[in-house]
Amino acid sequence: METLIHGEFWTLKELFVLPNEYIVWSIQIVMYPFMTGLVAGAFVLSSLYHVFGVKQLKDIARFALVFSFSLLFAAPIPLLLHLQQPFRALNVILTPHFTSAIAAFSVVFFTYAAIVAGELWFLYRKHLIETYQMYKGKEKKSLWDSLMVILFGALTLGAMDLSEKALHKDEKAIKFLAALGIPVAAFLHGYVGFIFGSVKANALWMTPLMPVIFIVSAIVSGVALCVLTYIITLEIRKFLAAGKAKRAEAHVKIPQIDSADLSVIQLSVRYLVIFLVFAISLELLDLIFRGYTAVKSWDILRSVIYKNDFVPVFVLQYGIGDALPLLLFLLPGFSMRRALIGTICVLFGVFMMRWNVVIGGQAFSLTFAGFMHYQLPIIPHDIETLKEGLMGIIGVFIAPFCFFWVVNKIFPVFVKKAAVAGGS
Amino acid sequence: MTRRDFLKNSALGVGGATAAMLGLQIVNPKELFAAVAEEKGKTRWAFLVDTYKCVGCGMCVKACKTENEIPWEANASRTWVERYVITKDGKRYADSPKAARDGFTNSKIDLGEGHEVEVKAEDIDKAFFVPKLCNQCEDPACVQACPVGATYQVPDGVVLIDRKWCIGCGYCIMACPYGVRFFNPVTHTAEKCTFCYHRISQGLMPACVDACAFGARKIGNLKDPEDPVTKIIKTERVGVLKSDFGTKPQVFYIGLDEEVK
Ligand code: SF4
Ligand code: SF4
């Protein structure tokens, strides 16, 4: 349909809305800060071990770093799906117009990517070399083996030194990059907050608190996702090993989720709670401040927040996303299952927060006298409703796990302790 | 190769190279800035809307849609007309159905989602029409927001969009406090009023100005003190929309009401 304006399909207008106004930034723009938030948060979790030396987090730290790297590939996907002219995306790099908050995205993003990739390389250098040598040493090489020789040879970048001194240097480099990565990760996400916070035309978005709120909630979501995926991966490994043991009818050792794992998770959750409390305080501060100062836009914001969007804001975001997990984490008798449910709630809550910012920010008209209601396209009937509908979100959700599967082949998360640097 | 061929070929080669060099000639920034400054000194387009004269017939919207090839049935328009109705019991209504393309022909007010309300003439305290278009702001929020520079301001003040370069991110649409921008459903790039730049730069009037039978819309050059529109803006009481956003809009209104959003 050549006459349908972008956004018209999922926007319902109520009362006085300007003719050209639609919910132009739809679901993929909800996904975009959500995904970058996960990247940044996962990285911060891994840095807790590398920089601050929280020893118990060692295993999950390595996991978090690899996962952050996989998420990194997925982060720009929502942006590409959102663009009306995705094939021109490179224009942002060709002619960046730096007064725009979006223009620096590629710079910030690639800086951050370089840091994560660098840290990952140092962390797995030993493993890469050993794998390379293992394949190279094979007497009869299959085509696959030869390919692996090339791949791992290239990944070592020719640095084959495995002396004690070199490994020690690796550790230093990891620590340095992890430390450098924290402000950059915070910047990456604070910057996403700035993209919204600096839109002066939008009464809900425009607040200098926006970048801070985004950073903290990013950490919350990243930690939650790491804990969640960590638990699930442990379970899957256990399950697979059990299957193997059965088939072989031999005494393959089944990795048990033991108390050590539980304490790792409990510790991560403790950090999660700290950041969560911080995030809730900031969001409430923003809300209270708006209510107290009650400038011109407050009338319409109030009716959006307390009336039209009551369920997504207070029930889904604050209730299920904040209060419920806090209860689950803080009540005595912490268990793996509670951690699992709690982190799922937290992730959902952060997603709802992004939703309430992006969609909620467009829920009222510039006239302050009308509302726009968003209806997520479920069943796609054209490319637009496919990209910016339920299918689009599902795709973006699945992508990082696919990347993780691939990345994990090269940088295995669950390796023998000695194979990676920082194993002391 | 004969001597003659050689000469011919080298002549061709030299000629070709020169032509190529001419094509690639690097713009001298000094000259460019001088040219921009000169143009800036000569012209600053501004618009004047006399809301007292507007009857809400929608001829301007029709003309605009046709002139600028915005699909007739598309629910968006580069310009539109709003109707405001304030009743005796203090109720405030406003609407602009189909951007007022078909004019306001009855007293039913569009409430969105298919609802309407009928307001009786005797219940009305005041009612009026307000035409809207891009304000070609002096400090345009949209230009600031465009990440690739596809939205830009020309020296005579008009803000234009490069349809070949726009990536369709929609940041400008979010950034404009006046809601004048939308995605063109045909080109899938950002779209908005340009004061009919293709016309005014050729000495013609914008399509809407020509189409308005009541003289509610006028365009002028603020840099020309003899321009009748400039004279009105300079000497009479005019207002602009939403000045608190700091974009310095350049569409001036006579008879602007506090109600106008
Ligand atoms: S009215 Fe909006 S689109 Fe027009 S110049 Fe101003 S900010 Fe840009
Ligand atoms: S939609 Fe086009 S013109 Fe608007 S900000 Fe994005 S690239 Fe620039």
Reduced 3-state DSSP string for A260-295:
HHHHHHHHHHHHHHHHHHHHHHHHHHHHHHHHHHCC
pLDDT for A418 equals: 43
Domain for residue B84, yes or no?
no
Q: Does B232 touch chain A (CB under 8 A)?
A: no
pLDDT band at B214 (very low <50, low <70, confident <90, very high): very high
pLDDT for A409 equals: 87
- The yes-or-no verdict on residue A321 having pLDDT over 80 is yes
**Count of domains observed in chain B:** 1
Give the containing element (helix H, strand E) for B235. helix B228-235
Question: What span, in angstroms and rounded, lies between the C-alpha atoms of A199 and B169?
Answer: 14
Contact A270, A224 (CB under 8 A): no
Domain for residue B22, yes or no?
no
- Please name the residues in contact with B35: beta carbons below 8 A apart, sequence gap of 6 or more: none
| Residues pairing with A119 in the sheet | none
Token pair listed for A287: 């809300």
pLDDT for A419 equals: 46
- The yes-or-no verdict on residue A161 having pLDDT over 90 is no
User: Which of B72, B94, B189 is facing A85, going by the closest CB pair?
Assistant: B189
- Tell me, in angstroms, the distance from the centre of ligand 1 to residue A66's CA: 44
Question: ∠ CA(B49), CA(B55), CA(B61), 5° rounding?
Answer: 70
User: Which of B75, B146, B186 is facing A2, going by the closest CB pair?
Assistant: B186
pLDDT for B37 equals: 79
Coil, strand or helix at B2: coil
* Domains defined for chain A, CATH in brackets: 26-371+384-419 (1.20.1630.10)
Q: Does B170 touch chain A (CB under 8 A)?
A: yes
- The yes-or-no verdict on residue A250 having pLDDT over 60 is no
pLDDT for B9 equals: 56
Domain extent, residue B43, equals 29-78+134-256
Q: Which of B45, B142, B173 to mutate to test the pocket of ligand 1 (most atoms within 8 A of CB)?
A: B142
Verify whether the Cβ–Cβ distance B148 to A15 is below 8 Å.
no
Give tens-digit pLDDT for B85-113. 999 999 999 999 999 999 999 889 999 88
- The yes-or-no verdict on residue A81 having pLDDT over 70 is yes
Lowest mean per-residue pLDDT among A183-197, A253-267, B63-77, B140-154: A253-267
Domain for residue B86, yes or no?
no
| Conformation bin of residue B114: beta by default, left when phi > 0, alpha when psi is -120 to 50 | left
Domain for residue B224, yes or no?
yes
Query: Which residues of B, range 74-103, sit inside 8 Å of A by Cβ?
Result: 74-77, 80, 92-96, 98-99
Domain for residue B171, yes or no?
yes
Verify whether the Cβ–Cβ distance B261 to A103 is below 8 Å.
no
- Tell me, in angstroms, the distance from the centre of ligand 2 to residue A367's CA: 23
The ligand placed nearest to the CA atom of residue B164 is: 2
**Mean pLDDT of the region A253-263:** 65
pLDDT band at A422 (very low <50, low <70, confident <90, very high): very low
pLDDT band at A424 (very low <50, low <70, confident <90, very high): very low
What are φ and ψ of residue B191, in 5° steps? -140, 145
pLDDT band at A254 (very low <50, low <70, confident <90, very high): low
**Mean pLDDT of the region A40-50:** 85
pLDDT for A40 equals: 85
Mutation site for A-interface testing, chosen from B183, B243, B258 by largest number of A Cβ within 10 Å: B183
Q: What is the mean pLDDT of chain A?
A: 88
User: Which of A97, A195, A200 is facing B146, going by the closest CB pair?
Assistant: A97
Residue A247 burial (CB count, 10 A): 9
Partners of A102 on chain B (C-beta within 8 Å) are: 145, 147, 169, 171
Placement of tokens 């950090």 in the chain: A271
Lowest mean per-residue pLDDT among A193-207, A235-249, B110-124, B139-153: A235-249
Output Rg (C-alpha) for chain B, integer angstroms.
24
Residue A421 or residue A291, greater confidence: A291
Domain for residue B96, yes or no?
no
Give nearest CA residue, ligand 2 atom 5: B146
- Please name the residues in contact with A145: beta carbons below 8 A apart, sequence gap of 6 or more: A135, A138
Residue B28 or residue A38, greater confidence: A38
Question: What span, in angstroms and rounded, lies between the C-alpha atoms of B192 and B183?
Answer: 9
Domain for residue B205, yes or no?
yes
Residue whose C-alpha is closest to residue A396's, from A139, A56, A77: A77
Chain-centroid distance of CA B197 in Å reads 9
pLDDT band at A343 (very low <50, low <70, confident <90, very high): very high
Give tens-digit pLDDT for A286-308. 999 999 999 999 999 999 999 99
The domain that holds B49 is classified in CATH as 3.30.70.20
**Mean pLDDT of the region A104-125:** 90
Chain-centroid distance of CA A213 in Å reads 15
pLDDT for A255 equals: 58
pLDDT band at A358 (very low <50, low <70, confident <90, very high): very high
Task: Please work out whether the CB of residue B174 comes within 6 Å of at least one atom of ligand 2.
Answer: no
Residue A202 burial (CB count, 10 A): 20
Q: Does A105 touch chain B (CB under 8 A)?
A: yes
Domain for residue B58, yes or no?
yes
Q: Does B119 touch chain A (CB under 8 A)?
A: no
